[in-house]
Amino acid sequence: MIPYGPAGNKAKSFEQRIDTQRKMDDKQNCLLCSRYQDCHDDSILLFAQTPILRRIVKSHLAEMQVSFQAEGDLFRVESGYVQALKGLRQRLSEPERQDLRVSRERGPRIMGAGSLEEYARRLDTEWFDTSLQNDAFTIYFQPIVDAAAQSVFAHECLIRLIADRMYSGGEILDTAMSRGSVHLFDSYARQLSVRKSGQQFIPGTKVFINFMPSSIYDPVFCMASTLQAMAETPLKPSDVVFEVVESEKTHDVRHLRRICEYYRNEGFGFALDDVGSGSNSLQMVCDLKPDYVKLDKSIISRVSEPMYRTVVEKLAEFAGEYGLHVIAEGVETAATLEVLQSSGIRLMQGYYFAKPAPEMTSPDTFRAASAETGPGKRRENSESRGTSDARAVSA
Ligand SMILES: [Ca+2]
């Protein structure tokens, strides 16, 4: 059995040991940046702090005929632990599930320590790891159009998973977060975006690739795999715009600025996503001076209201003065398009023009379809409405 500290202070020692291990794992994350390791846990440790919970867990394990070793407040389950966890999840009350801690044991290492409830949720999202191992994710493209010129300006790459059903970008990202895999996944998704957009690239248009600043520790190190993927495609840095998502969660603006400077120096464009949705987005615009400002759909959807319209007009004016480009996201109706155009916005994205689809929209097709049927009729065969892309990222 694994030693877990002196008697009388077991809970603290165990938690401390897990914490130390977690910090070690975090430090090693960057080394996992460009590859996914197929690891299997050897066993799990169940940690029941109270005597009553110990008795309950022990009797359930025995009833389920699960073989285990018990020592003090720890139970180790080796074979069939997934079934054991599922069984315990069903049998224990919610407070008991929260109190029972589960750790994974891999060789000499103990990985993480969460409640049974958290661990069971992990089991529900096993599809994520399997899909990552099998490189099963794909990229959909949504055009960003120049409404004045009736042409396709760029495509945003949006992660998708088509398995037993379609998994949206938001759902995939939430799962990556809940499984503590954002860093690894963001890197994977950037490379996938580069690979897929390289296959379909339309010269003269740009490719927007999302990234989460919190997933990049060191831009030079963490971007190496993205640049390597790019070298195998026709994409040049000037064709690519990196789009910062969830910037409001980045408290370290200096870190974000360092990443953005790195992109600029390498010749990439840089966009700030969801501007207007977070409390400090406007401050971010001034701090970071991105090439593109993507106005959030929560503002765009209300642009027919006088105050929102004024905000958009002033932003367009401000952007023009400082050489930034504004992109209106979530354009869904002809009325919105009209107001935006009269407010001085040219670049737009939304279901009115095209839904995300597996293929890029060719500028010729777009122009012809606009002339014939109006923009909204164009991509009926792609995603259904309601698969919101507000958080569809490389996440
Ligand atoms: Ca985006």
Q: Which residues of 78-100 are buried (b: 16+ CB within 10 A; e: fewer)?
A: eeebeebbebbbebbeeebbebb
Supply φ then ψ for residue 290, to 5 degrees: -70, 160
Compute the distance from residue 208 Cα to the ligand 1 centre, in Å.
Answer: 8
Compute the distance from residue 130 Cα to the ligand 1 centre, in Å.
Answer: 25
Contact 162, 382 (CB under 8 A): no
Record the tokens describing residue 99, joined without a space: 């109190």
Compute the distance from residue 48 Cα to the ligand 1 centre, in Å.
Answer: 43
Q: Within a 10 A sphere around the Cβ of 296, how many other Cβ atoms?
A: 18
Compute the distance from residue 351 Cα to the ligand 1 centre, in Å.
Answer: 14
- Nearest-Å Rg of the Cα atoms of the chain is 25
Compute the distance from residue 133 Cα to the ligand 1 centre, in Å.
Answer: 25
Compute the distance from residue 171 Cα to the ligand 1 centre, in Å.
Answer: 14
Task: Check residue 384 and report its DSSP letter.
Answer: P
Over range 357-374, report the average pLDDT.
82
Compute the distance from residue 269 Cα to the ligand 1 centre, in Å.
Answer: 14
* pLDDT tens by residue, 162-208: 998 999 999 999 899 888 888 889 999 999 999 999 999 999 999 99
Compute the distance from residue 271 Cα to the ligand 1 centre, in Å.
Answer: 9
Compute the distance from residue 4 Cα to the ligand 1 centre, in Å.
Answer: 45
Task: Check residue 149 and report its DSSP letter.
Answer: T
* pLDDT tens by residue, 73-101: 889 998 878 888 889 999 999 899 989 99
Record the tokens describing residue 106, joined without a space: 């891999």
Candidates 33, 22, 37; CA nearest to 215 is 33
Q: Within a 10 A sphere around the Cβ of 309, how many other Cβ atoms?
A: 17
Compute the distance from residue 319 Cα to the ligand 1 centre, in Å.
Answer: 19
Contact 211, 245 (CB under 8 A): yes
Compute the distance from residue 84 Cα to the ligand 1 centre, in Å.
Answer: 41
Report all structural domains of the chain as residue ranges with CATH numbers, in order of start.
10-123 (3.30.70), 128-377 (3.20.20.450)
Q: What is the pTM of this model?
A: 0.74
* pLDDT tens by residue, 20-73: 545 544 444 333 222 233 345 678 889 998 999 999 999 999 999 999 998 888
Compute the distance from residue 394 Cα to the ligand 1 centre, in Å.
Answer: 8
Compute the distance from residue 61 Cα to the ligand 1 centre, in Å.
Answer: 47
